[in-house]
Amino acid sequence: MDSSSEGSSPSTPEGNCSLDFPVHALMPTKETQQEAFLAKYPHYDGRGVLMAILDTGVDPALPGMQVTSTGERKLVDVMDLTGAGDVDTSTVKTSCDGVIEGLTGTKLKIPDTWTNPSGKYHIGSKPLYELYPKGLLTLVRKETKDEKWKSCHQLATADALKQLTSHEDTVGATTEKLKDKLERENLVAQLEFLRSQDKVEDKGPVMDVITWNDGKKWMSCLDTSLKGDLASCKPMASFRVNGEYGTLTPKGMPLPPLSSAIPSIADDLTYNFSISSNGNLTEICVPTGSHGSHVANIAGGFFPDDKAKNGLAPGVKIVSMNIGDGRLSSMETGQALTRAFDACAQMGVDIVNMSFGEYAHIPDQGRVIDQLKKLVEKHGVVFVSSAGNNGPALSTVGAPGGTTSTVLGVSAFLTPDMADPMYGIYSKNVPNNLFGWSSRGPSADGSLGVSISAPGAAVTGVPKYCRKTNQLMNGTSMSSPNAAGAISCLISARKAEGAKPSVPQIRLALENTGKETGEYDKLSIGNGLVQIDSAYEWLKALPKGVLPDTIKSFDVKCVRSSLPTQRGIYLRDAVDTSAIQEFAVTVQPLFGEQEATDGVNFERLLRVSCKDSFVRCASTLILNNQPCKIMVEVDPTQLPPNQLHYSEIELFDAEFPSLGPIVRIPVTITKPLELTTVSHSFDALTRPGIPIRNFIKVPEGATAALIRLKNIDRVPKESFVIHCTQLLPHKSMRESETHRNILGDQTELKRAFNVVGGKTLEICLVRTWAREKKEVAARVEIEFVGISSSPSIALSNANLVNGFQLKAWEKGPVEIQPTLSLKQFVQVVKPFEVKLQALTDRDVFHDGTTIHRLLLNYKLNVAKGGDFQMELGGLTDYLYEAPLDCMLVQIFSATKEFVGASSSYPGRYTHKLDKGEYRIQVQLRHANENVLDRLRDTPLSVINKLSSSISLDLYTSPIALVEGDASKKVSSTASILPASHSTNYYVPHVADEKMPKGVSGGSFFRGTMMPYGDTAYSSVAGVGIPVVFTINEYGKRQTKTLAPVTLTPPKKSIEQEMSDAFRDVQIEWIEKSKEDKAGEALYEKLIVDFPSHLPVHLAMLRRLSNKKKVRRRRRREEEGVIPYQRTSDDHSKIISITSKILELTKPNEVLQWMGAKHDNDEEGMALKTSMEERKGAIVDALLVRAAATTDAFLCGMKDEDIPKSLARQSGPILEKKEEKKEGENGCESTPPSQPSTPRKENTPVKNDSIVVTEAQLSALIKELYQWIDPSDAKALLITAKYAATQGHFGKCLKHLQKLVDETNSNGKDAKQHELLIADICDYLGLYHISQLHRNRIQCRHRPTFRLF
| CA angle 251–282–219, rounded 5-degree value | 75
Residues in the chain: 1348
816 has which bridge partners?
975, 1012
The DSSP line for 32-91 is GTHHHHHHH-TT-SSTT-EEEEEES---TT-GGGSB-TTSSBSEEEEEE-SSTTEEE--E
**Contacts (Cβ under 8 Å, ≥6 apart) of 506:** 382, 487, 490, 491, 535, 539
Which residue among the candidates 274, 276, 477, 1330 is catalytic per the annotation?
477
Q: Yes or no: say if 553 and 477 are a contact pair by the CB < 8 Å rule.
A: no
Q: Yes or no: say if 106 and 301 are a contact pair by the CB < 8 Å rule.
A: no
Round to whole Å and give the CA distance between 23 and 1141.
88
CA 224 distance to own-chain centroid = 26
Question: H/E/C letters for each residue in 398-445?
Answer: CECCCCCCCCEEEEEEECHHHHHHHHCCCHHHCCCEECCCCCCCCCCC
Round to whole Å and give the CA distance between 533 and 1028.
60
The DSSP line for 584-633 is EEEEEEEE-GGGHHHHHH-EEEEEEE-SSTTEEE-SEEEEESS-EEEEEE
Rg, Å, the chain Cα set:
37
The DSSP line for 706-726 is EEEEE-SS--TT-EEEEEEE-
Sign of CA dihedral 920, 330, 904, 80: positive
| CA angle 1235–1236–1238, rounded 5-degree value | 105
Round to whole Å and give the CA distance between 84 and 130.
8
Which residue among the candidates 122, 153, 291, 1313 is catalytic per the annotation?
291
Round to whole Å and give the CA distance between 245 and 273.
8
Query: Rounded to whole angstroms, what are the CA distances from 499 to 315, 352, 506, 544, 957?
Result: 19, 19, 12, 11, 80
Specify whether 1333 is catalytic.
Answer: no
Round to whole Å and give the CA distance between 583 and 576.
12
Round to whole Å and give the CA distance between 367 and 880.
7
Q: Yes or no: say if 1106 and 1211 are a contact pair by the CB < 8 Å rule.
A: yes
Q: Is the peptide bond before 442 cis (omega within 30 degrees of 0)?
A: yes
Burial class (CB within 10 angstroms; exposed 0-12, middle 13-18, buried 19+) of 744: middle
Round to whole Å and give the CA distance between 1069 and 1103.
10
Round to whole Å and give the CA distance between 1249 and 1195.
12
Round to whole Å and give the CA distance between 625 and 604.
10
The DSSP line for 444-467 is TTS--S--EEEE-EEEEE--GGGT
Specify whether 167 is catalytic.
Answer: no
Specify whether 291 is catalytic.
Answer: yes
Element (H, E) at 964: none
Question: H/E/C letters for each residue in 481-511?
Answer: HHHHHHHHHHHHHHHHCCCCCCHHHHHHHHH
Round to whole Å and give the CA distance between 1134 and 1181.
9
Q: Pairing state of beta strands 793-796 and 1025-1030?
A: parallel
Which residue among the candidates 55, 445, 533, 1130 is catalytic per the annotation?
55
Closest by CA to 1076, choosing from 1121, 1038, 1106, 1043, is 1106
The DSSP line for 846-865 is TTS-B-EEEEEEEEEEESS-
Round to whole Å and give the CA distance between 1130 and 1139.
14
Round to whole Å and give the CA distance between 1317 and 1336.
12
Which residues belong to the active site? 55, 291, 477
